[in-house]
Structure 1
Amino acid sequence: MLELRKIQSDLFPKLYDSFLIDDDPLSNEQDWRNVFDYPWPNEEGHCGYAMLRDDELVGMMGMVFSDRSIQGQSRKFCNLHTWWVREDQRGHSLMMLRPLKKLSERYTITHFTPCDRIRAVARKLGFRDLSSQLRILLPIGQSTAARKSKSQVEFIWEPEQIRPALCEAERRIFDDHQPYSIGHLLIQDDQTQCYVVYTHVVRHRLPYCHIHYIGDRGLFAKCEPMIRATLIARHQVRFVAMEQRHCDGLQLHRSLKFWSPASSLVKSDTVNDADIDGLYSDVVFLKLTTLPDITHHLRQRAADLLPFLTRPD
């Protein structure tokens, strides 16, 4: 008998042993448990749906529910992840989609890592493409960064100093993301501050820092070269990345747009694309990359850009 069951904590061992254990070699059991058993309040009372046949797992769809403050308004989000149906059960895939219709009436629904098959099905349900193109911020020297930055700022890394300085909405982001191995940075000048949330991604043998949340775009724009140089030096990474949709109005010295192999998905009538970030999603929780193996591509681009990167400013 085929049934659709809400995913709650008691179902996690079956999810892990049946599928998750082999889904991502860089994520262990506790990493996955944190994705399916998150600590903040969840009014839905579950974290997705599992499809079972005679108590055997044959499909699943993870969901991360969150309440966000967007442009001063409270908005509900649901991020889909780990959407999987066993091949011999694909004929019942629509069963997994039924809950999405009711959720879409109250939630902005996102999916940042869909495969082509899921992307095609989701579009029939009213999902649209959400650009996942990245802006790659190339390395620059500390002296150049200091000269390019337009504000003298202090960088604060210690959690016990960051949390008390945050507003209520950002303090909730900080607290909710504590179980996950992600980066928090507070930048302060004489007049304002900017809270930054990022991940240190180590995939495809190409480490980089991915900025997901920027609290104050004005201060960020003034000191972006120093932020970039500091993150690269602190984590010994190749570059810093941001979603291109978050870069409007920012002058990003020595950067390039990187082609997007595929788009993410969104279904929303209330939230603009530019206000959608990767917080409260598997991309942040598991420090996933939204890029393919780009090592060869970047080597080629670096060779093309070498004359510009080495010339004096």
Structure 2
Amino acid sequence: MSHSEFRSTAENIEICPITPGDVERVAEFLHAELNSRLSPSAWAAAIRPTWQSASPNHGFMLVDGERVLGAYVAFYSQRRVDDRMENFCNLSAWCVLEPYRSHGLRLLRAMLAQEGYTFTDLSPSGNVVPLNARLNFQHLDTATALVPNWPWPRLGKRLRIVSDPATIEKSLKGRDLQIYRDHAGAPAAYHLAVIEDGECCYVMFRRDSRKRLRLFASILHVGNPDLFQRVARHVYSHLLTHHGILVTLAETRVVCSRPRYSILLASPRPKMFRSSRVSSSQVDYLYSELTCVPW
């Protein structure tokens, strides 16, 4: 391609919102250019959130006619924070073809130009972290404990750990029941109800890879931290015996304490947010790519 031909093509490049009708072609693009381990249909299922929310788009894409040159996927939700409703936009998969990388920032600017949102970026890549910092994103405290999932015998019948959807529905109530219903079909989310003497703790986790080994679980939500602390060793044992997961990654801000027999990671993965109305303690990992995209 000559320089003049490239310039002519560049003049036709547009930034457009990803509409429901665009999801399939964006999914094909992300399969081909970002992560081929996820099929196009898996990408499409991930992009469409399982919760009901007034979403202005599914993010933004860079296009030249019908050809997708880049995409930045987003997940939207309305969440109650203290006594008010807050609009969240979770920034997810960001990919731009190499010849058009100079246009990539246009996608980010389009996303951040949407007013009235708290923005979260829960898996920024290495070069995105300093960029986010320049755009007034703040770091969350992601201190993470690595917990070996040892088998642990359960004596008596006082404690049950269940994953059957019908039993989870019956066991949960209030906010946790709504969270479960919103995420029950989310492609990356796994669900447990931990029940002891009539008390229940809802646990959501995802499977994760480190150094290409898909042997890890990351805890995304703990509904009853006090009960979780008492029974955590049995939850980790359940992840081993029922899911074949050897290690759990437990952020202390999620599980509310450092697990016993754990090792703190020297360099936990960063997570960031930008908001003028929400504090770091009010940011969680629900309604996000962490529940939707099974990397």
Q: Same fold per TM (> 0.5)?
A: yes
Instruction: Call closer, same or farther: CA 1:26–1:146 in 2, change over 3 Å.
Output: farther
Cα distance in 2 for partners of 1:228, 1:185 equals 11
Q: Given the alignment, which residue of 181, 200, 203 partners 1:175? A: 181
Q: How does 1:15-164 map to 2 (within 5 A)?
A: 15-70=26-81, 74-103=85-114, 105-143=115-153, 152-164=158-170
User: Secondary structure, in 3 states, of the residue corresponding to 2:193?
Assistant: strand
Instruction: Call closer, same or farther: CA 1:190–1:214 in 2, change over 3 Å.
Output: same
Q: Given the alignment, which residue of 236, 245, 251 partners 2:244? A: 236
Does 255-264 or 65-74 show the bigger shift?
Answer: 65-74
- Cα deviation, 1:140-160, whole Å, max 9, x if unaligned, reads 3414x769xxx9432222101
- Cα deviation, 1:130-186, whole Å, max 9, x if unaligned, reads 34442111233414x769xxx943222210111133224323322222332532111
Cα distance in 1 for partners of 2:240, 2:139 equals 31
Cα distance in 2 for partners of 1:40, 1:79 equals 14
Where does the alignment leave 5 or more consecutive residues of structure 2 unmatched?
A: 1-11
Cα distance in 2 for partners of 1:72, 1:146 equals 43
Are 1:220 and 2:228 matched, yes or no?
yes
User: Secondary structure, in 3 states, of the residue corresponding to 1:58?
Assistant: strand
Shift of 1:126: 1.1
Are 1:269 and 2:266 matched, yes or no?
no
- Cα deviation, 1:176-229, whole Å, max 9, x if unaligned, reads 223325321112223531111112335622412221100011111111122222
Cα distance in 2 for partners of 1:181, 1:3 equals 31
Cα distance in 2 for partners of 1:242, 1:72 equals 29
Shift of 1:254: 0.4
Aligned length: 282
For the 8 Å contact 1:146–1:225, the answer to whether it is kept is: no
Does 121-130 or 163-172 show the bigger shift?
Answer: 163-172
User: Secondary structure, in 3 states, of the residue corresponding to 2:127?
Assistant: helix
Cα distance in 1 for partners of 2:44, 2:165 equals 23
- Cα deviation, 1:5-40, whole Å, max 9, x if unaligned, reads 110121123223334334223312222112222243
Letter aligned with residue 254 of structure 2: H
For the 8 Å contact 2:144–2:268, the answer to whether it is kept is: no
Using the size of structure 1 for normalisation, the TM-score is 0.79
For the 8 Å contact 1:81–1:282, the answer to whether it is kept is: yes
Cα distance in 1 for partners of 2:254, 2:178 equals 21
Letter aligned with residue 257 of structure 1: L
Letter aligned with residue 154 of structure 1: R
Larger strand proportion of the pair: 2
User: Percent same amino acid among aligned pairs?
Assistant: 21
For the 8 Å contact 1:246–1:274, the answer to whether it is kept is: no
Q: Given the alignment, which residue of 11, 18, 29 partners 2:22? A: 11
Cα distance in 2 for partners of 1:19, 1:5 equals 16
Using the size of structure 2 for normalisation, the TM-score is 0.84
Where does the alignment leave 5 or more consecutive residues of structure 1 unmatched?
A: 289-313
Shift of 1:261: 5.7
For the 8 Å contact 1:68–1:74, the answer to whether it is kept is: yes
Shift of 1:108: 2.1
Instruction: Call closer, same or farther: CA 1:101–1:210 in 2, change over 3 Å.
Output: closer
Instruction: Call closer, same or farther: CA 1:69–1:221 in 2, change over 3 Å.
Output: farther
Cα distance in 2 for partners of 1:223, 1:262 equals 26
Per the alignment, residue 254 of structure 2 pairs with 246
Cα distance in 2 for partners of 1:210, 1:272 equals 23
Per the alignment, residue 8 of structure 2 pairs with none
Cα distance in 2 for partners of 1:73, 1:161 equals 32
Letter aligned with residue 216 of structure 2: Y
User: Secondary structure, in 3 states, of the residue corresponding to 1:213?
Assistant: strand
Instruction: Call closer, same or farther: CA 1:98–1:227 in 2, change over 3 Å.
Output: same
